[in-house]
């Protein structure tokens, strides 16, 4: 099969184009550095199927960052049949810099002038024919966003792939062209492929090339001694870069015709927005308010806080199934209305199933397994799908509009002082979706220690799977204790997670994970209206992922949980009332004392194991925490036996009522689940992405210690406010110890089992 590679600057629209061509749903984000690994898909509308490869975004083919190395090696070694060079037409000159390097490789290249819609909207125009003549490469105007020009692009790319192209360079007029020529001849003599490209890189004294061709490199070094440019001295890399830019502005730039006034106005609009949104003082409060609005829309049961102003019985659906769906005390937010509607549907399904099984005289244990175990667990978690999707929709809008990149920018300004770059915050923000891609995204960080520290704190950015834990428990607290708004609690927990992440990452960067703060020039992408298709793709992806997980891992886990909670060690079937003698209870009781300082251990008496086992099942998938409650809800209550599967919030209410757990303990439970070892998939990813066994082991220790300390702090301070002083003293002592240890004033040995092999 033919292979076409998509190459271009970060944020130029490669992934958008890739998704369009291949029907994939790869992540498109409005910030640089989202694609860190190559992705493949098939385009079917050419005379033969074509493999399309989405490469990481790059500004040049010099191997400075992992992205550049991946992209460069792909083009040189895999020899694609055509390189489609995506050029962001709103930023023509800078994007063509990469083009001038691609020209130096013996590979067919087609220029896709992307974002032509934005160019035209700004009142500008680009003369594609002129550019085509000047570059000698086919040029097609496209909009990956709108899907225009794509057939034409692929037709020309296919045509180009049928005949080989000879490399050429725009450096003909450069003072170094003779040296380049000499190197090229030398390399050709050694039968090196793409001699021109390698010759130019050799002249730039590119590290990889010098290593690969030491003889030719010596010639360059010799020449360097006698050479002196007026401006750049003998920095050949700068001389070459300058040569490219000069050529671009002399020959290519005229293809762009500015519509003057209008395009200038456009700039100031975005500038004006940035003046507010990235303001030194207001930037962070604005972010916090926006974040709160997101939770309010998703989770609030007192939408817009107008509950108090509503007349009693403002909506009269009393007696109908819809009672309470749209709100009781206040109006429900859209997220809660959707949740309630789905909850209605799922509970009538489980009622129907229970009724049918009862009527059919199915064995008692089988009824329990199906209704309580499987449906109870599944529905407890499934009912949160609308809220998860809504939250994702909002995050996608924030990201796609370009706002999230601003957040990274604001944070970069502050945290640079603590040895962190804004770059590290992009994977962290991605962690709100799922830790797995977020951890992979840390490959954009060049400093290894920054990367380790970032991977460690990514799980603290509460992912979609943890949302049910937050909402179900927050909802349970509101219903059972009548305090607070569920959205405020949830929001508070997200902010707690972010705070823990920031504090621990700063701590690591100033102690065990010290390192360089690489220069990071944050490029603010253009604001634009989020693309509907893109948003729907994101959501659809999420639905698929969620449903697949629900019917595999989560279902399997709930079945196991049901069995071990309904059978004794002697493999005897237990009735609901005997659940405390079950295998599950026994296992939980074994470890429950460990959780007493967190508020959900032995102090809950005979139910002390319940929250503990739920947290442990979360190590497989975080959805399991609430699914486990759903499975157990029918039995965890003295005397009361539910004959239907309960929804997520109801199960938690049931748990609270039966166990007598306190509010601080419930908050501590959320905090523990949010900061402890993430799900199995995230752990496996961390293992793959971390540089060695030792750093992986230390990461596990870090997660356990952090979650334990955070949850214990929350519980004790929440229960007895004065313990805050004890904690402050303790935390100060811990930090001092770490600092002393790092200064070498303190020595202790790391246990051998943690060390592993590097
Ligand atoms: P990549 O980093 O090169 O893979 O770029 P992405 O595909 O992630 O796109 C970056 C941003 O540019 C996203 O917000 C896209 O929605 C936006 N974008 C992509 N193509 C176009 C286009 O043709 N026109 C406009 N206006 N925006 C686009
Ligand atoms: Mg991309």
Q: Tens of pLDDT along 177-203?
A: 999 999 999 999 999 999 999 999 999
2-8 and 82-88 beta bridge pairing: parallel
Residue among 430, 449, 657, 422 at smallest CA distance from 524: 422
Name the H helices within 164-260: 177-189, 195-203, 207-212, 214-226, 236-247
Q: Which residues surround ligand 2, an ion (CB under 5 A)?
A: 15, 34-35
Mean confidence (pLDDT) of the chain: 88
For residues 484 and 490, give the distance between their C-alpha atoms in angstroms, rounded to a whole number: 11
pLDDT of residue 643: 47
Q: What is the dihedral of CA 345, 349, 354, 357, to 10 degrees?
A: 170
Checking if the pLDDT of 714 tops 80, the result is yes
Q: Which two tokens stand for residue 59?
A: 């500004």
- Whose CA is closest to atom 6 on ligand 1? 13
Q: Smallest Cα–Cα separation from 92: which of 119, 121, 132?
A: 119
Q: How far is Cα 245 from Cα 236, in angstroms, rounded to an integer?
A: 14
pLDDT confidence tier of residue 264, bands split at 50, 70 and 90: low
Contact status, residue 287 vs residue 310, Cβ threshold 8 Å = no
Ligand 1 neighbour 85 (Cβ under 6 A): no
Owner of token pair 């402890």: 676
Report yes or no: 595 and 620 within 8 Å, Cβ to Cβ.
Answer: no
CA atoms within 13 A on the CB side of 693: 7
Report the phi/psi class of residue 10: left, alpha or beta, with left for phi > 0 and alpha for psi in -120 to 50. beta
162 or 32, which is more confident? 162
Element (H, E) at 5: strand 2-8
pLDDT of 530 > 50? The answer is yes
Residue 640 pLDDT class (50, 70, 90 cuts): very low
DSSP 549: H
Q: Which atom of ligand 1 is nearest to the CA of 525?
A: 11
**Euclidean distance between CA atoms 137 and 108, whole angstroms:** 8
Please tell me what DSSP assigns to residue 143. B
Torsional sign, CA 714, 717, 718, 719: positive
pLDDT for position 579? 87
How far the first Cα of the chain sits from its last, in Å, is: 40
Q: Give the per-residue pLDDT at 32.
A: 62
Mean pLDDT, residues 482-486 taken together: 83
Residue 664 corresponds to which tokens in the numbers above?
A: 């601080």
Distance from C-alpha of 636 to C-alpha of 228, rounded to nearest angstrom: 83
Identify the residue whose C-alpha is closest to ligand 1 atom 2: 11
Distance CA 709, CA 713 (A): 6
What is the pLDDT averaged over residues 640-669? 81
pLDDT for 260: 65
- Probe target for ligand 1 pocket from 6, 22, 28, with the most ligand atoms within 8 Å of CB: 28
The band of 717, judged by pLDDT with boundaries at 50, 70 and 90, is: very high
Tell me the three-class secondary structure of 16-79, residue by residue. HHHHHHHCCCCCCCCCCCCCCCCEEEEECCCCCCEEEEECCCCCCCCCCCHHHHHHHHHHHHHC
What residues have CB less than 8 Å from 270, skipping those under 6 apart? 526, 527
Alpha helix stretches (DSSP H) within 360-384:
364-367, 377-382
For residue 727, name the pLDDT band (cuts at 50, 70, 90): very high
Q: What number does the ligand 1 atom closest to the CA of 531 have?
A: 16
**Hey, whose CA ends up nearest to atom 25 of ligand 1?**
115
* Least confident piece of the model among 127-131, 460-464, 513-517: 513-517
The model's pTM: 0.81
pLDDT tens, position by position, 494-506: 999 999 999 999 8
**Residues 89, 87: Cα–Cα separation, whole Å:** 6
Q: Is the per-residue pLDDT at 755 higher than 80?
A: no
Tokens representing residue 706 in the block: 């952090």
- Residue 125 pairs with which residues in a beta bridge? 257
> CB neighbours of 521 closer than 8 A, spacing ≥ 6?
none
User: Is the per-residue pLDDT at 706 higher than 80?
Assistant: yes
DSSP 696-711: HHHHHHHHHHHHHHHH
Asked if residue 747 has pLDDT above 80, the reply is: no
* 3-state class (DSSP) for residue 383: coil
- Atom 14 in ligand 1: residue holding the nearest Cα: 30
Contacts of 579 (CB under 8 A, 6+ apart): 565, 566, 585, 632, 635, 636
By percentage, how much of the chain surpasses pLDDT 70?
94
CA dihedral 494, 500, 505, 508 (to 10 degrees): -160
pLDDT single digits (tens) 13-67: 999 999 999 988 777 766 666 666 788 899 999 999 999 999 988 888 887 777 7
Helix, coil or strand: residue 539: helix
Q: Where are the alpha helices (DSSP H) in 524-567?
A: 532-549, 555-566
Asked if pLDDT for residue 683 goes beyond 90, the answer is: yes
Q: Which helix (H) or strand (E) holds 261?
A: helix 261-277
Distance CA 290, CA 298 (A): 13
Kindly give the distance from the C-alpha atom of residue 271 to the centroid of ligand 1, in angstroms, as a whole number: 20
Confidence check: pLDDT of 583 > 50: yes
Residues 6+ positions from 725 with CB-CB distance below 8 Å: none
Whole-angstrom distance, CA of residue 758 vs CA of residue 752: 13
Q: What is the mean pLDDT of residues 212-228?
A: 88
Distance 544 CA to ligand 1 centre (A): 24
Cα–Cα distance measured from residue 724 to residue 28, given in angstroms and rounded to the nearest whole number: 44
DSSP 467-517: HHHHHHHHHHHHHHH--S-HHHHHHHHHHHHHHHHHHHHHHHHHTTT----
Residue 507 has pLDDT above 90, yes or no: no
Q: How remote is the CA of residue 14 from the centroid of ligand 2, in Å?
A: 5
Over the stretch 567-580, which tens digit does the pLDDT of each residue have?
Answer: 999 888 888 788 88
Do the Cβ atoms of 46 and 158 come closer than 8 Å?
Answer: yes
Higher per-residue confidence, 668 vs 434: 668
Tokens (6 digits) for 475: 């909802």
Radius of gyration over every alpha carbon of the chain, rounded to an integer in angstroms: 30
**Which pLDDT value is given to residue 712?**
96
Counting Cα atoms < 13 Å in the Cβ hemisphere of 207 gives 5
Mean pLDDT of 718-742: 88
Structure confidence by residue, pLDDT tens digits, 319-367: 787 888 888 778 899 999 999 999 889 888 988 998 999 999 988 888 8
The pLDDT value given to residue 601: 95
Q: Which residue has the higher pLDDT, 11 or 228?
A: 11
Sign of the torsion formed by the C-alpha atoms of 346, 352, 355 and 357:
negative
Any atom of ligand 1 within 6 Å of the Cβ of 204: no
Q: Are 623 and 631 in contact (CB under 8 A)?
A: no
* Mean pLDDT value across residues 471-498: 91
Residue 573 gets which letter from DSSP?
B
* For the CA of 33, the nearest atom of ligand 1: 2
**CA 663 → CA 481, 495, 549, 649, 654, distances in Å?**
8, 18, 30, 15, 14
**Is pLDDT larger for residue 155 or for residue 66?**
155
Task: Give residue for tokens 């997520």.
Answer: 648
Ligand 1: which atom is nearest the Cα of residue 31?
10
Is 19 touching ligand 1 by the criterion CB < 6 Å? no
Sequential DSSP letters for 168-195: --GGGGSTTHHHHHHHHHHHHHTT-TTH
155 falls in which pLDDT band (50, 70, 90)?
very high
Residues 274 and 524: beta-carbon distance below 8 Å: yes
Q: Does ligand 1 have an atom closer than 6 angstroms to the CB of 149?
A: no
């Amino acid at each position: 099969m033919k292979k076409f590679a998509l190459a271009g600057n970060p944020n130029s629209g490669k992934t958008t184009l890739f998704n369009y061509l291949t029907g994939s749903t790869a992540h498109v984000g409005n910030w640089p550095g989202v694609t860190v690994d190559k992705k493949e898909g098939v385009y079917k509308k050419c005379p033969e199927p074509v493999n399309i490869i989405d490469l990481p975004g790059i500004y040049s083919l010099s191997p400075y960052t992992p992205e550049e190395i991946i992209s460069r090696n792909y083009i040189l070694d895999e020899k694609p049949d055509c390189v489609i060079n995506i050029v962001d037409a709103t930023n023509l000159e800078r994007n063509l810099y990469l083009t001038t390097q691609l020209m130096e490789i013996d590979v067919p290249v087609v220029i896709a002038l992307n974002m032509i819609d934005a160019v035209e909207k700004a009142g500008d125009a680009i003369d594609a024919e002129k550019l085509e003549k000047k570059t000698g490469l086919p040029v097609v105007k496209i909009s990956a966003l709108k899907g225009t020009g794509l057939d034409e692009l692929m037709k020309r790319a296919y045509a180009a792939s049928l005949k080989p192209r000879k490399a050429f360079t725009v450096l003909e007029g450069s003072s170094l062209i003779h040296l380049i020529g000499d190197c090229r001849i030398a390399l050709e003599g050694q039968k090196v492929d793409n001699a021109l490209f390698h010759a130019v890189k050799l002249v730039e004294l590119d590290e990889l090339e010098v290593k690969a061709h030491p003889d030719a490199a010596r010639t360059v070094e010799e020449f360097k001694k006698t050479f002196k440019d007026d401006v750049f001295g003998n920095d050949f890399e700068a001389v070459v870069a300058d040569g490219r830019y000069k050529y671009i502005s002399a020959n290519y730039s005229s293809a762009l015709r500015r519509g003057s006034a209008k395009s200038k106005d456009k700039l100031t609009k975005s500038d004006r927005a940035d003046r507010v949104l990235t303001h030194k003082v207001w930037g962070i409060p604005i972010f916090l308010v926006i974040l709160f609005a997101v939770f309010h829309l998703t989770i609030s049961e007192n939408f817009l806080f107008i509950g108090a102003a509503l007349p009693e019985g403002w909506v009269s659906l009393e007696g109908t199934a819809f009672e309470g769906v749209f709100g009781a005390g206040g109006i429900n937010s859209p997220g809660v209305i959707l949740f309630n509607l789905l909850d209605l549907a799922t509970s009538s399904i489980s009622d129907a199933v229970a009724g049918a099984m009862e009527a059919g005289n199915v064995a008692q244990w089988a009824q329990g397994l199906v209704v309580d175990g499987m449906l109870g667990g599944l529905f407890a978690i499934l009912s949160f799908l609308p809220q998860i999707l809504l939250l994702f929709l909002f995050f996608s809008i924030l990201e796609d509009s370009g706002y999230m990149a601003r957040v990274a920018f604001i944070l970069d300004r502050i945290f640079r002082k603590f040895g962190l770059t804004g770059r590290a915050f992009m994977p962290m923000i991605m962690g709100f979706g799922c830790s797995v891609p977020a951890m992979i995204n840390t490959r954009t960080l060049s400093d290894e220690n920054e990367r380790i520290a970032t991977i460690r704190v990514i799980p603290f950015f509460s992912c979609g799977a943890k949302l049910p834990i937050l909402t179900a428990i927050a909802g349970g607290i509101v219903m059972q204790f009548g305090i607070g708004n569920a959205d405020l609690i949830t929001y508070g927990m997200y902010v707690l997670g972010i705070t823990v992440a920031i504090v621990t990452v700063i701590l690591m960067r100033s102690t065990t994970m010290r390192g360089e703060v690489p220069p990071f020039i944050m490029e603010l992408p253009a604001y634009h209206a989020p693309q509907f298709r893109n948003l729907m793709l994101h959501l659809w992806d999420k639905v698929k992922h969620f449903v697949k997980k629900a019917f595999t891992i989560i279902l399997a886990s709930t079945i196991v949980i049901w069995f071990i909670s309904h059978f004794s060690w002697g493999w005897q079937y237990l009735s609901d009332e005997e659940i405390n003698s079950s295998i599950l209870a026994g296992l939980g009781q074994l470890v429950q004392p460990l959780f007493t300082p967190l508020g959900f251990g032995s102090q809950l008496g005979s139910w002390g194991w319940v929250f503990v086992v739920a947290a442990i099942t979360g190590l497989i998938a975080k959805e399991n925490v609430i699914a486990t409650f759903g499975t157990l809800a029918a039995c965890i209550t003295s005397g009361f036996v539910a004959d239907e599967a309960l929804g997520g919030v109801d199960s938690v209410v049931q748990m609270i009522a039966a166990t007598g757990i306190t509010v601080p303990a419930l908050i501590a439970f959320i905090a523990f689940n949010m900061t402890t070892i993430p799900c199995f998939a995230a752990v496996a990813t961390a293992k793959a992405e971390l540089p060695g066994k030792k750093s992986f082991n230390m990461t596990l220790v870090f997660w356990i210690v952090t979650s334990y300390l955070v949850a214990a702090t929350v519980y004790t301070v929440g229960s007895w406010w004065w313990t805050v002083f004890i904690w402050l003293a303790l935390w100060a002592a811990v930090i001092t110890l770490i600092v002393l240890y790092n200064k070498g004033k303190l020595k202790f040995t790391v246990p051998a089992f943690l060390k592993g092999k590097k």
